[in-house]
Amino acid sequence: MAPRLSRLRLDREKLFVSVAVGLGVVLMVAGFRTADTGDEGRDIPAAIESMTPGPGDQVLRQSQIFVDFVDGYVAELEVDGILLETTRLDELSSGGAVPSPGAQVEVPPTAIYDPGRFTISFLPQPGAAIESFSQGPHSAVVRYWKAVDGPTKARTFAWDFTVD
């Protein structure tokens, strides 16, 4: 006579634990896939590709403010209620002539707008409207518009950062 194969008994406790662990792994993967991190986690307008410091960031006293826009935008910058004078990089050459390769160009202590890269930046320095950031909270506002539309259709983005 052939031996009878015993049926495997279903252990409900092991089944429950296995289903719970599997469900937990699925939920963790779904959470990681939908999480917003870095600049995506911040509420930054689509016209801004990147910026430093970002909203809520902590920086040093001589840190640069830098905002990078998608192609086609012009901007101006206000820090702590002071509208910073803006110098365009394409206007720095004397008499409109293109400087020769390797030539030194004097960059004034203002906000600098680069029309070739669609960026605006400001570095606190002697002679600038803001020579250094004091310790504590600061606010910044970037006013930006599409070059083809002009400043009458400008939008703004405001954020705060802290200086250590």
Kindly state the helix (H) or strand (E) to which residue 140 belongs, with its residue range.
strand 136-146
Per-residue pLDDT tens over the stretch 31-80: 767 654 544 545 899 999 999 999 999 999 889 999 999 999 999 999 99
The one-letter amino acid code at 32 reads F
pTM of the model: 0.70
CATH class of 46-96+107-163: mainly beta
Residue 49 neighbours by CB under 8 Å, 6+ apart: 68, 69, 70
Q: Beta strand pairing status for 58-59 and 155-163?
A: parallel
Of 148, 156, 66, the residue nearest 112 (C-alpha):
66
Q: How far apart are CA 114 and CA 130, in angstroms?
A: 20
Q: How far apart are CA 105 and CA 89, in angstroms?
A: 10
Q: How far apart are CA 64 and CA 109, in angstroms?
A: 12
Give the count of beta carbons closer than 10 Å to the beta carbon of residue 110.
16
Per-residue pLDDT tens over the stretch 85-113: 999 988 876 555 666 777 777 888 999 99
What pLDDT score does 34 carry?
67
Would you list the domain boundaries of the chain?
46-96+107-163
